Amino acid sequence: MVEVKLEGIVKTFGETVALKGIDLHIKHGELFTLLGPSGCGKSTTLRIIAGLDFPDEGHLYFDDEEVTYKSSSERGAVLVFQNYALWPHMSVYDNIAYGLKIRKFPKQEIEKRVKWVLELVKLQGYEDRYPTQLSGGQQQRVAIARALVVEPKLLLLDEPLSNLDAKLRLEMRSEIRRIQRELGITVLYVTHDQEEAMAISDRIAVMNIGQVEQVGTPKEIYEKPKTEFVASFMGKTNVIPAEVVERDGDKVTVEFENFRLDGLTYKENNDKVVLVIRPERISLHPIENAVAITGKVDLIEYYGFFIEVVGLFGEKRIIARTINDKDVAHLRPQGEVTFYIERNDVLVLPKQNL
């Protein structure tokens, strides 16, 4: 178990600035996730922590020891590669035993541990297979077993589930969570799938173009995004450009299209804003003290256990979500619809240039 600290990590590849100054603090025994779109620098951060790349600037600490330029082989931060990187000329057993042999464990101890870890990842009996004789999910479990068996201080997982089918993903996701809790190791997890991040993490850092936009628990990030980017990245949501037209201390009135919403909370100076409203927070039946806006029905989409109504408000489309069939029974395409929104469900954030 280890605590990881990154301070002002900058990394460039020729002209591209991959990381623009990353500060992170990952605590003992935490499952911490780096979440962000493709190319935002997640893998680069992970490789720097693993010691496979070195930053141009900044410092990296494991507990209180600076390890910025310690070689990968001495660092004990074991990475599970996105492509698994299993050695094709070695059997499952040899792949897993490799790290133990390097650490000069006695033969019996090696056998014992390999057996233990194979049970952990549910691959008993696969010792003598070669990587090419395994399915994608099995390969991935071997890769995780190979990392776990050396009991790393820190386990780094780079989109470990991205090559799996939906069902196996869910299974493996909870497996990883279970194993992490069981062994109590610090895990740094990389993904670009926000749902996966929410499900698995203790805390999440949302990254965008080489920067960390927000760090927090899944709940915080989902409910209290600090920036437009984070809000729009965390699942399907309404992001409505608007303008502040009146201010009274923290309270503002904003306008979009021809609609006005008053009594919203906003502390920044910038008048160009976005309104972030989660679809499930918009009601289709009247609520007391809520803002009501009326527009046209554009679309009604059935998703099974919930239904989405896309309303057209001027030029702007806003989505409302409900689990109640009755809410939509009276709606007709192109007919009128009223959305009811409680004021504290509307997040006003400064507009970003995304």
Partner 1 sequence: MKVSKWSERLFGTPLFEPLVAFSYIFPLLYLIVFLIVPVLSMLLIAFTYDGNISLHWFKSILMNSYYIQIPPRGEFAQKLTTSTGESLYLIRGLDFGVVLNSLVVAALVTLFTAILGTVFAFVMARYNFKGKNLFRIALFIPLLVTPFVNAYVIKQMFSEFGLINYIFHEVLHILPFRIKIDGLAGVVLAQSMAYYPIVYLNAYASFINIDPTLEEQAENLGSRGFHLFRTVTFPLALPGIAAGATLVFIFSLEDLAAPIVFHGDPLAKKLMSYQIFSKFIYGLGERSPEIAALSIIMLTLAIIAFLGIRKYVSLRQYAMLSKGGRWKPRISDPKPWQALLIYLVLLPALLITIFPQLGVIMLAFSERWTTTVLPQGFTIDYVKEMILNPDVRRFIVNSLTYSGAAVILIVLLSITSSYATSRFKGVLSPILESIVILPIAVPGIVVAMGYFYFFSAVTPENSPLNPTSLYGFNPALVLILAYSIRRLPFAARSVYAGLQQVHMSLEESSMNLGASRWKTITGILMPLISLNVFGGAMLSFVYSMSETSVGITLGSINMAQAPITAFMKEVLMSAAGSINIAAALGVLLIVVQITAIVVVNVITKQRYSFIGLT
Ligand X SMILES: Nc1ncnc2c1ncn2[C@@H]1O[C@H](COP(=O)(O)OP(=O)(O)OP(=O)(O)O)[C@@H](O)[C@H]1O
Interface with Mg ion by CB under 5 A: which residues? Answer: 43
Binds 38: which of partner 1, Mg ion, ligand X, none (CB < 5-8 Å by kind): ligand X
Return d(Cα 54, Cα 125) in angstroms, integer.
39
Say how many Å lie between the first and final Cα of the chain, rounded: 37
Return d(Cα 29, Cα 27) in angstroms, integer.
6
Return d(Cα 255, Cα 235) in angstroms, integer.
25
Q: Crossing angle for the helix pair 92-102 and 107-120, nearest 10 degrees?
A: 130
Phi and psi angles of residue 120, each rounded to the nearest 5 degrees, phi first: -60, -40
Instruction: Return the bridge partners of 313, or none.
Output: 316
Binding track, positions 63-102, relative to partner 1; x by CB under 8 A: ---xxxxxxxxxxxxxx-x-x-x-xxx--------xx--x
Contact 310, 271 (CB under 8 A): no
Binds 338: which of partner 1, ligand X, Mg ion, none (CB < 5-8 Å by kind): none
Closest distance to ligand X from the beta carbon of 206 (Å): 12
Q: Residue 302 interacts with partner 1 (CB under 8 A)?
A: no
Note the residues at the interface with ligand X (CB under 6 A): 13, 16, 18, 36, 38-44, 192
Closest distance to Mg ion from the beta carbon of 152 (Å): 20
Maximal CA-CA distance, the chain: 76
Closest distance to ligand X from the beta carbon of 23 (Å): 17
Closer Cβ to ligand X, 41 or 218, answer by number: 41
Indicate the SS3 state at residue 170: helix
Binds 70: which of ligand X, Mg ion, partner 1, none (CB < 5-8 Å by kind): partner 1
Binds 142: which of ligand X, Mg ion, partner 1, none (CB < 5-8 Å by kind): none
Closer Cβ to ligand X, 40 or 67, answer by number: 40
